[in-house]
Amino acid sequence: MNEIELVDNNEVIEKKPKKSLFSYIKIIFILVVVLFIAWTFIQWIYTWTKSITVDNPSWSGITIQFNEEDQIFIDAYTTKTLELDNWKYSLKVNNEDMWMFIKEWIWSKSFLNPTNEIYIQEYILYWDENNFDKLPNNLIEAYWNQAEWPFKKYEGIYISWDWNYFLDENYPDEVTMRQSQTYKIKSKLYRFDGFADMYNQDYVEEYIEETPILDTNIGE
């Protein structure tokens, strides 16, 4: 509490108490926590913008090489996150010149597709099947196959993140929704052969008469 002091002219002077040692320790602790959070965030941003994910969707391991630097081996059906500065690069795949590209921070949410394979994104609807018409309905073509359902095709050396679940992640059984929501759409990315297996199992068995079977060996 504040101290009150009476002077000769009956004037009241309120004296503020001195801060205790605990108060100074508390302030120092808060400053340390704030600085730690800020430093962690800066480190995260730096790592995020200085790294790149590379996927090998092929049936055998590959070697990649940036600007004649050391070769990097990536196993079949494997993703690897590498440190890579924002710069211009030449890319060799299995000792063959393949691509020239500029790695920029705006691509930090993309992954490198060195073999230029095709990936397919699937959309699914949670909760209310009456909103099934909210799903995209696209006709896609990949390796001389066609599929028409809530899918999206990706190809090119850089593929941007526009999905909820990456190659090795599975859909959850349930998702959280706000009270005002009656449905939610989620999506997952597949390598083509993984997509073909899923499509033949989940779509063809139910719609066998109108849905063609995808060839899972076309990407060999």
Residues 28 and 81 in one domain: no
Question: What's the predicted TM-score (pTM) here?
Answer: 0.70
* Domain membership of residue 74 as a residue range: 50-112
Residues 84 and 35 in one domain: no
d(CA 120, CA 9): 87
Contact assessment for residue 62 and residue 115, using Cβ atoms and an 8 Å cutoff: yes
23 domain residue, yes or no:
yes
Total domain count, the chain: 3
Task: Output the six-digit token pair for 108.
Answer: 């930090």
Three-state secondary-structure class, residue 195: helix
pLDDT in tens, the chain (220 residues): 545 454 555 555 555 566 666 777 777 888 888 887 877 765 555 555 677 889 999 999 999 999 888 899 999 999 998 888 777 888 899 998 887 877 766 544 678 999 999 999 999 988 777 778 888 888 888 888 888 889 999 998 888 778 899 998 999 888 888 888 888 899 999 999 999 999 988 887 654 444 445 555 544 4
Dihedral sign, CA of 55, 58, 60, 62? negative
Q: Of 61, 81, 112, at which residue does a domain stop?
A: 112
* Amino acid making up residue 206: E
136 in the same domain as 184: yes
Residues 173 and 108 both lie in one domain: no
The answer to whether the CB of 48 falls within 8 A of the CB of 30 is no
